[in-house]
Amino acid sequence: MLAPGRQATVEETVTEDMTAQRLGSGDVPVLGTPAILALVEAAAVTAVAEALDPGTTSVGASVELDHLAPTPVGGTVTATAALAEVEGRRLTFRFEVTDAAGPVARGTHVRVVVDRERFLDTARERR
Ligand SMILES: CC(C)(COP(=O)(O)OP(=O)(O)OC[C@H]1O[C@@H](n2cnc3c(N)ncnc32)[C@H](O)[C@@H]1OP(=O)(O)O)[C@@H](O)C(=O)NCCC(=O)NCCS
């Protein structure tokens, strides 16, 4: 059931591909903010995937993310997203990301439930 309380966690080891330097989001070789967002979105998607009606999916609509501390290559990061609110098709998640030393990021992420085919049609029409 699509209700507050659902949550999921993803864990990953930081590789060179995930650094700000490699992603172009900075020039330092530490975990980049876009890579953190990707982990958070993966956790949020997983948290609700099995509760969605067939033919629907969730798409990322907005994010508010505080990046609190740097994580080096080789470190392990864990992102947990928990469904906090369901308002119609809008799903609001609270998330936290940690590494071995403590908090790395936290914030709020909104996803919207869409019909997969209609959503892809909209994207195609924008070409
Ligand atoms: C998210 C999206 C599908 C919403 O479009 P839509 O269905 O026409 O939007 P609607 O106006 O019907 O909004 C649906 C609900 O989501 C909410 N919503 C839409 N965009 C939002 C946003 N950016 N932030 C927060 N809430 C949003 C609306 O308030 C509405 O909530 P309600 O039903 O409680 O009123 C559209 O903005 C979009 O395609 N965004 C791009 C998504 C994307 O490409 N993500 C990357 C791939 S996952």
The whole-number pLDDT of residue 70 equals 98
Tens digit of each residue's pLDDT (9 = 90 or more) over 84-122: 999 999 999 999 999 999 999 999 999 999 999 999 999
**Of the candidates 69, 15, 5, 72, the residue with the CA atom closest to the CA atom of residue 38:** 15
Active site residue 19: no
Residue 90 beta carbon below 6 angstroms from any ligand 1 atom: yes
In the reported structure, the alpha carbon of residue 78 is separated from the centroid of ligand 1 by a whole-number distance in angstroms of 27
Q: Which residue has tokens 């980049």?
A: 32
Q: Are 21 and 34 in contact (CB under 8 A)?
A: no
The SS3 call for residue 8 is strand
The whole-number pLDDT of residue 94 equals 98
Catalytic residue among 41, 71, 96, 98: 41
Tens digit of each residue's pLDDT (9 = 90 or more) over 24-45: 999 999 999 999 999 999 999 9
| Ligand 1 atom with least separation from CA of 111 | 1
Residue 112 beta carbon below 6 angstroms from any ligand 1 atom: yes
CATH number corresponding to 7-125: 3.10.129.10
The whole-number pLDDT of residue 51 equals 97
Tens digit of each residue's pLDDT (9 = 90 or more) over 43-93: 999 999 999 999 999 999 999 999 999 999 999 999 999 999 999 999 999
Domain extent listing, the chain: 7-125
The whole-number pLDDT of residue 41 equals 98
Q: What is the mean pLDDT of the chain?
A: 98
Q: Which percentage of the chain shows pLDDT scores above 90?
A: 99
The whole-number pLDDT of residue 1 equals 85
The whole-number pLDDT of residue 18 equals 98
Active site residue 80: no
Q: Which residues contact 121 (CB under 8 A, 6 or more apart)?
A: none
DSSP 12-67: EE--GGGBHHHHTS-SSSBB-HHHHHHHHHHHHHHHHHTTSPTTEEEEEEEEEEEE
